[in-house]
Amino acid sequence: MALNILRRMRATHTDTTGPAGIGGLPRAADGEVLLAADGLTKSYAGADGELPVLAGIDLDIRAGEIVALLGKSGSGKSTLLRCLAGLIPASSGAVTYRGKRLTGANPGTAMVFQTFALLPWLTVQQNVELGLEARGVAPAARAEAAVQAIDLIGLDGFESAYPKELSGGMRQRVGFARALVVEPDVLMMDEPFSALDVLTAENLRGELMELWESGQFPTRAVVLVTHNIEEAVLMADRIVVLGSRPGTIRETFEVGLDRPRDRQSAAFEDLIDRVYRTMTGRAKESRIPGRTEAVETEKRTAANTPLPTASVDGLSGLAELVAHRGGRFDLPDLADDLGLEIDDVLPLVDALELLGLATVSEDDLLLTERGTTFAGADVQQSKKIFAEAAQDVPLVRLITTSLRQNPEGSLRAGFFRDLLAHHYTSEQVAQQLETATDWGRYAELYSFDADPQEYRLDESAEQPGA
Ligand SMILES: Nc1ncnc2c1ncn2[C@@H]1O[C@H](COP(=O)(O)OP(=O)(O)O)[C@@H](O)[C@H]1O
Ligand SMILES: [Mg+2]
């Protein structure tokens, strides 16, 4: 499939000097800074003032390179990408494109979205032309450019199809064609393969890399947002790892491996391991309030210790798996064995750590004594151990003690939502309460009625220490 497209592309694109760039700007030489963030900070409005998402990001995107922005879910990757594209303004600091400070949409970028973002009532051809229409290109030129982009990305034959007639892979090709048709200096991609099945994603990645390597990709740089480490190592020249709350650049890796990249090579695997360690590890610069693992147990509060999105079933499953491996599991291997991505595993790892059921050292996950007992216990015993552990988790403790102090033993969820709103976005508050509900129910500390949104103390938990 990939080679077919290359051949077709060579037949239709004979001009090897490449595009002149949007607005007739000269083609940037390799290494020239196209896009830069200087001290970029972004906050969103919370119920109680501004909630920082990005803090002091300095980043250059140069012609000739693919840069991957890698980070856990919620670390601010999409926010950073949107700021670079000028779709949302920075709170402070600046974004510049070719040396000019942005004040609105970046004229040098085009975006590919995870969810494709196609208009269902338009054909493939019309969807692709959309990007040019917005830039005021005349109809005839639009049609011609769209046909070329459609050809380049392997969509010829599908011009008059509607999105609903297409497979996921073909839909995302429309997303690519629509972005490439404007020949942006910098192509921005926000998890473009995440919504596709494994094989489709693999095929599309391969085709894009072949196009890029052929030197005829109609764009000078790529910024790829991903939470998939292997994807980053496979595609990028540089990997920028973001830490969370607020998002800062934790570490930058120069990839420096020859293309096409050999996944079996020792250098490839070694880099994956190093990036994993940065993402799972407790980097010194991340020792700020808000990083669960950075706060000493006795100083933990619901404000500085967010609950990870992890169900009791999920974290118990992980504990059992590690127990079967003798109480120790290499995290990169673990994700690999399970066919999972880092985003799936890390919240469970954070949860086990927070509950004192496991610790992380280097890239190994180690069960504690309590964790080992928990993994081997029957349901009743496991509930008991879990209840003990959960009492030390700030949000669970907050809910339990608040309920004990209330004469009726019940409180509206809104009460806790308001308390948390001082420190988290509403989305984060909702996620944390969902976890706290699951954990508290399993521990039989409290129950929750969805209607009327009320927490109620469990009888067995009415006496402290019971
Ligand atoms: N429009 C918004 N309003 C308020 N909070 C937001 C908004 N967009 C994102 N956030 C919050 O900012 C944080 C970073 O989000 P995002 O940039 O989407 O991260 P990522 O792409 O790395 O998953 C998250 O906690 C998210 O809840
Ligand atoms: Mg995102």
pLDDT along the chain (466 residues), means of 10: 40 38 71 96 82 92 97 90 96 95 94 91 95 88 94 88 91 94 96 87 88 87 94 96 86 93 91 87 39 60 89 88 86 76 80 93 86 89 92 94 90 92 86 93 89 86 51
Nearest ligand to the CA of 69 is 1
- What's the domain count of the chain? 3
Is there a domain that residue 49 lies in?
Answer: yes
Block residue for tokens 């109480």: 327
The reply to whether 164 and 217 lie within a common domain is yes
Give yes or no: residues 262 and 353 share one domain: no
228: which 2 tokens? Answer: 């998939």
H-only helix segments in 50-197 = 77-84, 124-133, 139-152, 168-180
Q: Whose CA is nearest to atom 2 of ligand 1?
A: 44
Does residue 325 share a domain with residue 221? no
**pLDDT on residue 43:** 92
Are 28 and 220 within 8 A, CB to CB? yes
What CATH number corresponds to the domain at position 78? 3.40.50.300
Which uninterrupted H or E stretch holds 361?
A: strand 358-361
Report the alpha-carbon distance of residue 52 to residue 372 in Å, rounded: 38
Residue type at 260? P
Question: Which ligand 1 atom sits nearest the alpha carbon of residue 428?
Answer: 27
Q: Domain for residue 463, yes or no?
A: no
User: What 3-state DSSP class applies to 299?
Assistant: helix
Domain end among 358, 382, 406: 382
Helix (H) or strand (E) holding 319: helix 312-324
Do β-strands 92-97 and 100-101 pair in parallel, antiparallel, or remain unpaired?
A: antiparallel
Same domain, 396 and 367: no
Nearest-CA residue for atom 9 of ligand 1: 79
Backbone φ, ψ for residue 221 (5° rounding): -155, 160
Q: 83 and 146: one domain?
A: yes
Q: Does residue 14 lie within any of the structural domains?
A: yes
Look up the domain containing 356 and give its range: 293-297+313-382
The whole-number pLDDT of residue 65 equals 96
Same domain for 14 and 145?
yes
110 in a structural domain: yes
The sign one gets for the Cα dihedral 285, 291, 294, 300 is positive
Task: Answer yes or no: are the C-beta atoms of 8 and 151 closer than 8 Å.
Answer: yes
Establish if 305 belongs to a structural domain.
Answer: no
Place of tokens 């409290």: 446
Shared-domain flag, residues 347 and 251 = no
Q: Please name which ligand lies nearest the alpha carbon of 191.
A: 2
What pLDDT was estimated at residue 74? 83
367/396 same-domain check: no
Per-residue pLDDT, 463: 55
**Three-class SS of residue 391?**
coil
d(CA 354, CA 361): 14
- At which of 382, 413, 441 does a domain end? 382
Q: Residue 278: in which H helix or E strand, if any?
A: helix 266-280
Do 267 and 143 lie in one domain? The reply is yes
Say if residue 53 is in the same domain as residue 92.
yes
Say whether both 359 and 249 belong to one domain: no
**Nearby residues of 352 by Cβ (< 8 Å), 6 or more positions away:** 315, 318, 319, 358, 365, 367, 371
Q: Tell me, what's the pLDDT at 291?
A: 34
For residue 72, give the ligand 1 atom closest to its CA.
Answer: 22
Q: How many CB atoms lie within 10 A of CB 427?
A: 10
Q: Which two tokens stand for residue 459?
A: 């009888």
- pTM for this one? 0.68
Who lines ligand 1 at CB under 6 A? 44, 53, 71, 73-79, 425, 427-428
Contact 96, 36 (CB under 8 A): yes
pLDDT digits (tens, 9 = 90+) for 357-402: 999 877 788 999 999 999 988 888 888 999 999 999 999 999 999 9
| pLDDT for res 295 | 57
Q: Of 349, 382, 415, which residue constitutes the final position of a domain?
A: 382
- Listing DSSP states for 423-453 in one string gives TS-HHHHHHHHHHHHHHHHHTTSEEEETTTT
Q: Tell me, yes or no, whether 146 and 49 share the same domain.
A: yes
